[in-house]
Amino acid sequence: MISLSEPVLGSAEKKALCDVIDSGWLTMGDRVAKFECAFAELHHVENAVAVNSCTSGLHLCLQALGIMEGDEVLVPSLSFVATSNVILYLKAKPIFVDIVGPERPLISLDDAKNKCTSKTKAVIIMHYGGYSVDLQSWYSFAKKRNIALVEDAAHCPGLRGVGKRSDAAVFSFFANKNMTSAEGGMIIVRDSKLAENIRKLRTHGMSTVTLDRHRGHAYSYDVTMLGYNYRLDELRAAIGLSQLDRLLGWNSKRRELTKIYRRLIEEQVPNIRVPFEPGHASSAHLMPILLPPEADKELLMRILRKDGIQTSIHYPPIHKFTLYQKLFPGVRLQETERFSERELTLPLHPQLNESEIKHIVDRLSNIL
């Protein structure tokens, strides 16, 4: 089976886990702090806060930025449902924004401008497939309207520029992402006051953490805001730290493999389109393709599966889910809907090789 994604795991991760167990301390401590520092350093920023998932990270950011009931938040519908669920957690309203088009499936600035109202308090952008949105223009957009800019950066750990201009950028270390800690996430925040609040919200809004009390640095605590238990633990931080060393190499490998896909598809199945310009800055998280409109996608996916090739769709639009149709009926996003109907995601991970890609493109070409 050629799987869609595959974490790189081995002796480094095993040793990292054993070291944590031998240390006798399992919950948030020195390794989490070290992981935060290493991640911040990789992205050339001051503050990074580790959390137990990207979803909890996005939730904390919106809450810390003051998003509340009645506020509107601009968000792409072409994303994983968590990107929009976090808006609902705060009883705010997601305003779904279309993508630019099939060749550039990123949140559209023009559509966002049309949908901005006096209630708009934030915009969440998402670097689809690891392909960077134009941060400069979104920064200007948000600044001009005095609204918060949050990046769902689940697809692009290690990508240069991410987290540099926004209020916060949130990464995922779920097992199918570019690096993993099993479950886990990281928040990059530029403002230290905001970072401090996010740290408190991560652990029940408490003023001290367990490790400080254990070490006798603090004897009690106060609770100053309504928080959650969104902490990362030492086991996951240790896996994350060991993966972080190899992240940039894996991202390069993913870009190389994407180039091979592009070349072979262009040569053998020119009626398949590949979104984005070849030089677009990317961590190459996904390998999306656009099938010719007449292709039967479900049948194609079933045949490929029988051939041992796993594929997927990124994404079914959020506004089309039953829950969202019930809450927000009548949303239409023409480009997003069209893209989602034609999109197919092919296997892409650092352990994939050129001959497997040849096999995948051969099969695609024959079946189509």
User: What is the nearest approach in angstroms of ligand PLP to the Cβ of residue 89?
Assistant: 13
To which residue do tokens 């088009």 refer? 101
- Which lies closer to ligand PLP via its Cβ, residue 52 or residue 197? 52
Angstrom distance (rounded) from CA 5 to CA 1: 11
Listed in sequence order, the DSSP H helices in the chain are: 11-23, 30-42, 54-64, 82-89, 109-115, 135-145, 192-202, 210-214, 234-244, 247-268, 297-306, 322-327, 334-342, 354-367
Residues 52-111 that bind ligand PLP (CB under 6 A): 53-55, 79-80, 82-83
Q: Which of 177, 200, 253, 358 is catalytic?
A: 177
- Which lies closer to ligand PLP via its Cβ, residue 79 or residue 120? 79
User: What is the nearest approach in angstroms of ligand PLP to the Cβ of residue 142?
Assistant: 19
Give Dmax over CA atoms of the chain in angstroms. 69
Among 129, 157, 158, 185, binds ligand PLP (CB under 6 A): 185
User: What is the nearest approach in angstroms of ligand PLP to the Cβ of residue 307?
Assistant: 26
- CB 112, CB 92: distance < 8 Å: no
Q: What angle do CA 239, 242, 248 make, to 5 degrees?
A: 120
User: What is the nearest approach in angstroms of ligand PLP to the Cβ of residue 172?
Assistant: 3
| CA 105 to chain CA mean position, Å | 15
Strand pairing class (93-97; 148-152)? unpaired
How many residues sit close enough to ligand PLP to count as binding (CB under 6 A)?
14
Specify whether 177 is catalytic: yes
Counted residue by residue, the chain has a size of: 368
User: What is the nearest approach in angstroms of ligand PLP to the Cβ of residue 182?
Assistant: 10
- Which lies closer to ligand PLP via its Cβ, residue 150 or residue 272? 150
Collapsing DSSP to helix, strand or coil, 78 comes out as coil
User: What is the nearest approach in angstroms of ligand PLP to the Cβ of residue 52?
Assistant: 8
CA distances from 22 to 16, 25, 102, 235, 345 (A): 10, 8, 51, 11, 41
- Which lies closer to ligand PLP via its Cβ, residue 96 or residue 174? 174
- Which lies closer to ligand PLP via its Cβ, residue 3 or residue 271? 3
176: left (phi over 0), alpha (psi -120 to 50) or beta: alpha
Q: State the DSSP H helix or E strand holding residue 48, giving kind and residue range, or none if neither.
A: strand 47-51
Among 63, 84, 166, 172, binds ligand PLP (CB under 6 A): 172
Does residue 247 touch ligand PLP according to CB under 6 A? no
Which range of residues in 47-55, 60-68, 139-147, 346-354 is near ligand PLP by CB under 6 A? 47-55
Residues 114-153 that bind ligand PLP (CB under 6 A): 126, 152
- Which lies closer to ligand PLP via its Cβ, residue 120 or residue 181? 181
Active-site residue list: 177
* Contact set with ligand PLP (CB under 6 A): 53-55, 79-80, 82-83, 126, 152, 154-155, 172, 174, 185
